[in-house]
Amino acid sequence: MNVLFVAGFAPIVRDLPASHRFYLESLQLPLDERAGDYVHTARLAGVKHFGLWPLAEAAESCFGTREWPAEIPVPQATLELEVDDVAAAAAELSARGHRLLHAARTEPWGQTVARLSSPEGLLVGLTHTPWLQP
Protein backbone atom coordinates (compact mmCIF):
# COMPACT_ATOMS: atom_id res chain seq x y z
CA MET A 1 0.00 0.00 0.00
CA ASN A 2 1.19 3.52 -0.82
CA VAL A 3 -0.71 6.25 1.04
CA LEU A 4 -0.31 9.47 -0.95
CA PHE A 5 -1.97 12.07 1.32
CA VAL A 6 -4.65 12.58 3.93
CA ALA A 7 -7.85 12.56 1.90
CA GLY A 8 -10.15 13.86 4.60
CA PHE A 9 -10.64 14.68 8.23
CA ALA A 10 -14.04 14.93 9.93
CA PRO A 11 -14.61 15.32 13.64
CA ILE A 12 -17.33 13.06 15.03
CA VAL A 13 -19.68 15.59 16.59
CA ARG A 14 -22.12 15.17 19.46
CA ASP A 15 -23.53 18.70 19.50
CA LEU A 16 -24.18 19.56 15.85
CA PRO A 17 -25.28 23.19 16.38
CA ALA A 18 -22.23 23.96 18.58
CA SER A 19 -19.88 22.35 16.06
CA HIS A 20 -21.48 24.21 13.15
CA ARG A 21 -21.03 27.51 15.02
CA PHE A 22 -17.39 26.68 15.81
CA TYR A 23 -16.27 25.52 12.34
CA LEU A 24 -18.55 27.65 10.14
CA GLU A 25 -18.81 30.89 12.11
CA SER A 26 -15.82 31.07 14.43
CA LEU A 27 -13.16 29.44 12.22
CA GLN A 28 -14.96 30.52 9.03
CA LEU A 29 -14.06 27.33 7.16
CA PRO A 30 -15.67 27.07 3.72
CA LEU A 31 -18.04 24.28 4.76
CA ASP A 32 -21.16 24.64 2.72
CA GLU A 33 -21.89 21.41 0.89
CA ARG A 34 -24.56 19.38 2.67
CA ALA A 35 -25.59 15.77 2.64
CA GLY A 36 -28.26 15.77 5.32
CA ASP A 37 -26.59 17.12 8.46
CA TYR A 38 -23.09 16.26 7.16
CA VAL A 39 -21.41 19.54 6.21
CA HIS A 40 -18.22 19.39 4.15
CA THR A 41 -16.16 21.14 1.51
CA ALA A 42 -13.81 20.43 -1.34
CA ARG A 43 -12.50 24.03 -1.22
CA LEU A 44 -9.90 23.74 1.57
CA ALA A 45 -6.28 23.09 0.63
CA GLY A 46 -4.81 19.69 1.50
CA VAL A 47 -3.31 18.45 4.71
CA LYS A 48 0.42 19.11 4.98
CA HIS A 49 1.14 16.94 8.05
CA PHE A 50 -0.16 13.77 9.66
CA GLY A 51 1.20 12.40 12.92
CA LEU A 52 0.56 10.41 16.06
CA TRP A 53 0.97 12.77 19.04
CA PRO A 54 1.24 11.16 22.48
CA LEU A 55 -1.12 12.74 25.01
CA ALA A 56 1.78 13.43 27.42
CA GLU A 57 3.56 15.46 24.73
CA ALA A 58 0.38 17.36 23.84
CA ALA A 59 -0.12 18.16 27.54
CA GLU A 60 3.46 19.36 27.85
CA SER A 61 3.08 21.55 24.76
CA CYS A 62 -0.18 23.08 25.99
CA PHE A 63 0.33 23.26 29.75
CA GLY A 64 4.02 22.65 30.48
CA THR A 65 3.29 19.36 32.26
CA ARG A 66 3.09 15.80 30.96
CA GLU A 67 -0.31 15.28 32.65
CA TRP A 68 -3.49 16.44 30.91
CA PRO A 69 -5.56 18.58 33.34
CA ALA A 70 -8.53 16.66 34.76
CA GLU A 71 -10.89 19.63 34.27
CA ILE A 72 -10.30 19.78 30.48
CA PRO A 73 -11.69 16.95 28.31
CA VAL A 74 -8.95 14.76 26.86
CA PRO A 75 -8.75 15.46 23.10
CA GLN A 76 -9.50 12.73 20.59
CA ALA A 77 -7.33 14.29 17.88
CA THR A 78 -5.59 17.48 16.92
CA LEU A 79 -6.52 19.68 13.98
CA GLU A 80 -4.03 22.36 13.01
CA LEU A 81 -5.17 25.21 10.82
CA GLU A 82 -2.51 27.39 9.21
CA VAL A 83 -3.48 31.06 9.48
CA ASP A 84 -1.83 34.26 8.31
CA ASP A 85 -1.72 35.83 11.81
CA VAL A 86 -1.87 33.47 14.79
CA ALA A 87 -2.22 36.17 17.45
CA ALA A 88 -5.04 37.91 15.56
CA ALA A 89 -6.87 34.62 14.92
CA ALA A 90 -6.56 33.66 18.59
CA ALA A 91 -7.83 37.07 19.68
CA GLU A 92 -10.79 36.78 17.31
CA LEU A 93 -11.77 33.36 18.67
CA SER A 94 -11.34 34.55 22.24
CA ALA A 95 -13.58 37.54 21.48
CA ARG A 96 -16.19 35.09 20.14
CA GLY A 97 -16.23 33.41 23.54
CA HIS A 98 -13.88 30.48 22.95
CA ARG A 99 -11.45 29.71 25.78
CA LEU A 100 -7.88 29.40 24.59
CA LEU A 101 -5.79 26.67 26.19
CA HIS A 102 -2.83 28.94 25.52
CA ALA A 103 -2.19 32.15 23.59
CA ALA A 104 0.01 32.43 20.51
CA ARG A 105 3.59 31.38 21.20
CA THR A 106 6.53 30.00 19.26
CA GLU A 107 7.34 26.38 20.03
CA PRO A 108 10.96 25.14 20.28
CA TRP A 109 10.62 23.62 16.78
CA GLY A 110 9.81 27.04 15.26
CA GLN A 111 6.05 26.78 14.78
CA THR A 112 3.88 29.58 16.18
CA VAL A 113 0.66 28.20 17.65
CA ALA A 114 -2.33 29.04 19.84
CA ARG A 115 -4.59 26.19 20.95
CA LEU A 116 -8.18 25.68 22.04
CA SER A 117 -10.66 22.81 22.32
CA SER A 118 -13.49 22.31 19.83
CA PRO A 119 -17.02 21.45 21.03
CA GLU A 120 -16.40 17.75 20.30
CA GLY A 121 -13.06 17.67 22.11
CA LEU A 122 -10.51 18.13 19.33
CA LEU A 123 -7.35 20.00 20.17
CA VAL A 124 -7.41 22.82 17.60
CA GLY A 125 -4.20 24.66 16.78
CA LEU A 126 -4.06 27.97 14.96
CA THR A 127 -0.59 27.88 13.45
CA HIS A 128 2.11 29.51 11.39
CA THR A 129 4.56 26.81 10.26
CA PRO A 130 7.52 28.32 8.37
CA TRP A 131 8.66 25.09 6.70
CA LEU A 132 5.20 24.53 5.20
CA GLN A 133 5.15 27.94 3.54
CA PRO A 134 5.68 28.14 -0.23
Cα–Cα distance measured from residue 83 to residue 126, given in angstroms and rounded to the nearest whole number = 6
Q: What is the structure's pLDDT at 134?
A: 72
Q: What is the pTM of this model?
A: 0.84
Per-domain boundaries in the chain: 16-132
| Residue 59: partners with Cβ closer than 8 Å, 6 or more residues away | 65, 66, 67, 68, 69
Walk along the chain (134 residues) and give the pLDDT tens digit of each residue.
666 667 678 887 888 889 888 998 999 988 876 777 788 887 887 888 788 888 999 999 999 999 999 999 999 999 999 999 999 999 999 999 999 999 999 998 899 999 999 998 999 999 999 888 77
Can you list the alpha helix ranges (DSSP code H) found in the chain? 16-20, 55-63, 86-95
Q: What is the largest CA-CA distance in the chain?
A: 45
Of the options 3.90.1150.10, 3.40.50.300, 3.10.180.10, 3.30.1330.200, the CATH number for the domain spanning 16-132: 3.10.180.10
